[in-house]
Structure 1
């Protein structure tokens, strides 16, 4: 049985004064001033309300305690006292229990505090006058695991701290017992195995004590004691009669079995060793759990950091795309550098011309094809009801009459209504990025024609449809712009540039046309042979992947057999450059047809 009870009767302060008077020695000087711990006790009292559900309790924290135990609960004073040594090596000014989470820095002290809070909440029965002290001792022994089990029901997250309190409270009591022999072994079983049965300790952790107690007490007596503390765990908080009855049964079981049980001479050492094994095992388990929790928290923090960085990166890309689109689609129609500054001397535009009759005819055909692709059948929904309005179904009406004639509740619904809804027509978003480096001279004429045809057809199809064309080498030039009325003339251009800046060209088209946004038929056409450097390719492929992930179709048109394929794009090789307008028109029609 424990050396100290954690439920104490009201102390006799006069007896303490008399003891010091008789001793004649000066009072022991605490290692730190008791006044410094007053704030800690007050803050612990604030947290005690949530732990115990009581608002009438006082918490005192001082170096040393009146009871001699690390902590104790005084029902008569409605007070919990804690030994300041539990917080070592922390100093009072470093402890702030009012802050939730601060207890993680002193788990041993907090575990003992939670144990005493469990006593305050559930040890509310009082011993009657004249009760047998030995029976009361046994009942208080059973109370240790009972209150922790009751506390765990309402606050399961406190299990870790209750495991810590077991290491702090039980070991000193085992090493310095007040009971000897069989009663000592029974007390160890109640303190360790009782906590196992309420879920504080694991069965594997307590195996050493279970095996030793089975050898010392015998299987029959251990089974009897187990039944007693299991029954005590079900006892109500106020039921003093039942708790004392369990205490009496405990004492009777020990008295009946003790004469026949040999007691090892080194029983205390054996029990201390077994309990030490249990506590080491629980400490190792808790350390492993803490390491796993720390790893999970670190992983979560890493994911949150990565997500924050990704959001910041995407926001930066959006800002960059907006700035690029603003500089490229300027009102003056000038060519811009990658940083957005004007570079008019590098413009590939050579002039404008009137569209040919074939181009006008192609634009009209594409417009009709886009309207046909965008058309959506009306949806129909039929609903039945027992009353008008609606079309009468005679079969259902007869079934309803038959149900009424049979005396049952009619369930047939003879009236049918049809609701027809028109599906919205999706607009079109087509961006064309044409490579105007020196190797793309053959594409200039057909792409200029295709850009005019697509822009003209989109304007004739739907006022919400948008198209734009950007010519790129190292610089960027807008050939057609989003939001402008249909171009009257075809813009011609030459391919004499060097290097490539497809990434920024895609940024401009994406922001200008909202190619990453759902709700429209979206298509990006890239006319290039893709003879890029590694950095240029990486930038382009990254932007293409982002668009395809957002659901935008990306088509790469190549004109020469030596062209390379940009990963992520749908490759379409055109041996005859003159077929580029028809290929782009077909891809745009397919894109809007797939839109839902």
Structure 2
């Protein structure tokens, strides 16, 4: 390759440096141990080298390649592969600014922290897997040798991507590290150097590593230097190289020879170097600037893609977290419902505290007004759950139905023209009855001390609601839970209350969230296919934590399509947001009002 472009694939390692010779002598005869600048991290780089060696087989499908990672490389390139010794060297400085102690290539996924470095490893792995040909000894150091190495860069990557297309993003991230160091402000913008940039970057566009818009500015500069015909000829050469077999040495040498001839360079003489033409024109640095634009564009696109992928992963993780939380919540709700609704169960404290006496103090027969109110409310609930008929309109060429004159004229015109009539002038409307869904009503009544004055209305409202739900449909179900700090089942799901249950409101705390959980699980209030309603009878005077937890449950029910009705029995109530609020004093006399509120709540969440 030209003097300023480092080769990433070499036949054999370069001669040992003086430091390496000193290290070898020390190992042989126990002489003074050489001091290297990287001594502080030497153990870490050895560990990283071993980890990279362990990961390489999955990239190159070779198990005999040894990776060496330390500051600086013998080849001078940021990374290189030596064919004869099957060695891959990597400049540890590429990992900057990461602390070597935090780098763990043995852990899959760690490479996401240093995509450009991993891209360099992938690139060299591509050489290890696919660069199976070598330049004949008599041609090494010539222009044809340099041209072949230029062409091999994109050919090896294309072959690699056919095996591992997911590595494209890493190869893109590494383009700057692999290509940019070879172009400086002193690099002349002569035909050979321009062709080198084309072979390293435009050829990567044709392999799919780079996007056309990313190399467009560079292509414009190279067209000005090489001319459209020469650049087109070079493109045909590298495109032919991309289909050349890994072991086709004669084919690669022939393509390299054609490359030299297209540029007017003697293929058997050394390739033109930067120094020979640095002063040949006044455009020194223009090529470096154009290459830099490509690198900046690719880096920006990769950064944007990485950010989008990170956001997508974060969103997926959040969805998984929410799903896991919902599953855990459902399991907890089921356990709560089991403990609350088990026949003969005592009051259940969801927080594990001591439970006192049940708030239930007895039962009484329902009054005539309450029975009448339950009947009226049942009719209102049935109407709220009603589904209108749906209409389906079909077109036909013959009756029955209503005649559409425009379609009829179109049909006659088609007949007159000798065409097959396709217009259908008759329209028939068919109405379909949609069965009303069964009703699910969960009733949560507050029996804390602040509800003392509403004991009677609470008991009456709870019975009216439960009885009305049972009257709407044989498949409808209702359940009632009284709550303070503990939960007490009044009626289990599916059981119709025959008597009005009376309560003593003298409890402490407000476990509305857990009461909602029990009713949600026991009645399947989040499951579509039924008309669902949660009724809360409370003044809403809760502590901040209890209120927030209950609000979360109500919001989840609303999102799932369950209506929420909040009944208050005195002024100054503080209902939770999201519930349809109704203030009343005599439920038996306000059945119509409850029915209207329940209808509005169910209609608002109808699914």
TM-score (norm 1): 0.68
Q: Decide which of 352, 357, 364 is 1:346's aligned counterpart.
A: 357
Q: Decide which of 391, 401, 425 is 2:400's aligned counterpart.
A: 391
2:474 aligned with 1:463, yes or no? yes
CA distance in 2, matches of 1:569, 1:319: 25
Q: Decide which of 195, 201, 213 is 2:200's aligned counterpart.
A: 195
Q: Residues 253-292 of structure 1 correspond to what in structure 2 (within 5 A)?
A: none
**Residue of structure 1 in register with 2:389 after alignment:** 378
**Residue of structure 2 in register with 1:443 after alignment:** 454
2:241 aligned with 1:232, yes or no? no
**Residue of structure 1 in register with 2:569 after alignment:** 559
Retained in 1: the 8 A contact 2:104–2:110? no
Retained in 2: the 8 A contact 1:145–1:191? no
Retained in 1: the 8 A contact 2:374–2:465? yes
Residues 235-277 of structure 1 show CA distances to partners (whole Å, capped at 9, x for unaligned) of 46568877645532312699xxxxxx9967889xx98x99999
CA distance in 2, matches of 1:547, 1:284: 50
**How far off its partner does 1:528 sit?**
1.8
Retained in 1: the 8 A contact 2:461–2:587? no
**Residue of structure 1 in register with 2:89 after alignment:** 85
CA distance in 2, matches of 1:44, 1:336: 60
Q: Decide which of 525, 536, 539 is 1:526's aligned counterpart.
A: 536
**How far off its partner does 1:108 sit?**
3.0
2:328 aligned with 1:316, yes or no? yes
**How far off its partner does 1:578 sit?**
5.7
Q: Decide which of 121, 143, 147 is 2:155's aligned counterpart.
A: 147
CA distance in 1, matches of 2:415, 2:261: 73
**How far off its partner does 1:150 sit?**
5.9
CA distance in 2, matches of 1:68, 1:535: 65
Residues 501-558 of structure 1 show CA distances to partners (whole Å, capped at 9, x for unaligned) of 2222222222222222222222222222222222222222222222222222222222
**How far off its partner does 1:142 sit?**
6.2
**How far off its partner does 1:425 sit?**
0.5
**Residue of structure 2 in register with 1:498 after alignment:** 508
**Residue of structure 2 in register with 1:538 after alignment:** 548
Shift in alpha-carbon separation, 1:481–1:589, aligned structure 2, 3 A: farther
**Residue of structure 1 in register with 2:39 after alignment:** none
- The secondary structure found in structure 1 opposite 2:124 is helix
- The secondary structure found in structure 1 opposite 2:420 is coil
Q: Decide which of 240, 255, 262 is 1:249's aligned counterpart.
A: 262
Task: Structure 1 unaligned segments of length 5 or more: list them.
Answer: 12-25, 50-56, 74-78, 175-180, 255-260
Shift in alpha-carbon separation, 1:150–1:30, aligned structure 2, 3 A: farther
CA distance in 2, matches of 1:204, 1:375: 59
**Residue of structure 2 in register with 1:365 after alignment:** 376
Q: Residues 405-444 of structure 1 correspond to what in structure 2 (within 5 A)?
A: 406-413=417-424, 419-444=430-455
CA distance in 2, matches of 1:570, 1:41: 66
Which segment is superposed worse, 228-237 or 276-285? Answer: 276-285
**Residue of structure 2 in register with 1:111 after alignment:** 123
Residues 45-95 of structure 1 show CA distances to partners (whole Å, capped at 9, x for unaligned) of 77557xxxxxxx9986699xxx9998679xxxxx887434348799xxx99
Instruction: State the Cα RMSD in Å.
Output: 5.9
The alignment covers a number of residue pairs equal to 539
- The secondary structure found in structure 2 opposite 1:568 is coil
CA distance in 2, matches of 1:185, 1:31: 48
Task: Structure 2 unaligned segments of length 5 or more: list them.
Answer: 13-20, 28-48, 69-74, 96-102, 245-250, 268-273
**How far off its partner does 1:278 sit?**
8.9
Residues 163-205 of structure 1 show CA distances to partners (whole Å, capped at 9, x for unaligned) of 747855896899xxxxxx98x9544332234423334789999
Structure with max Cα Rg: 1
Shift in alpha-carbon separation, 1:490–1:205, aligned structure 2, 3 A: closer
**How far off its partner does 1:113 sit?**
3.4
Shift in alpha-carbon separation, 1:545–1:265, aligned structure 2, 3 A: closer
- The secondary structure found in structure 1 opposite 2:464 is helix
CA distance in 2, matches of 1:443, 1:402: 77
CA distance in 2, matches of 1:325, 1:314: 16
**How far off its partner does 1:569 sit?**
2.5
**How far off its partner does 1:483 sit?**
0.8
Shift in alpha-carbon separation, 1:583–1:162, aligned structure 2, 3 A: closer
CA distance in 2, matches of 1:87, 1:262: 26
CA distance in 2, matches of 1:372, 1:166: 70
Residues 391-448 of structure 1 show CA distances to partners (whole Å, capped at 9, x for unaligned) of 3778888976774564211214477665443202022222222222233233222222
Retained in 2: the 8 A contact 1:138–1:248? no
CA distance in 2, matches of 1:145, 1:367: 80
TM-score (norm 2): 0.67
CA distance in 1, matches of 2:584, 2:424: 61
**How far off its partner does 1:360 sit?**
1.9
Retained in 2: the 8 A contact 1:446–1:581? no
CA distance in 2, matches of 1:136, 1:377: 82
Shift in alpha-carbon separation, 1:408–1:448, aligned structure 2, 3 A: same
- The secondary structure found in structure 2 opposite 1:499 is coil
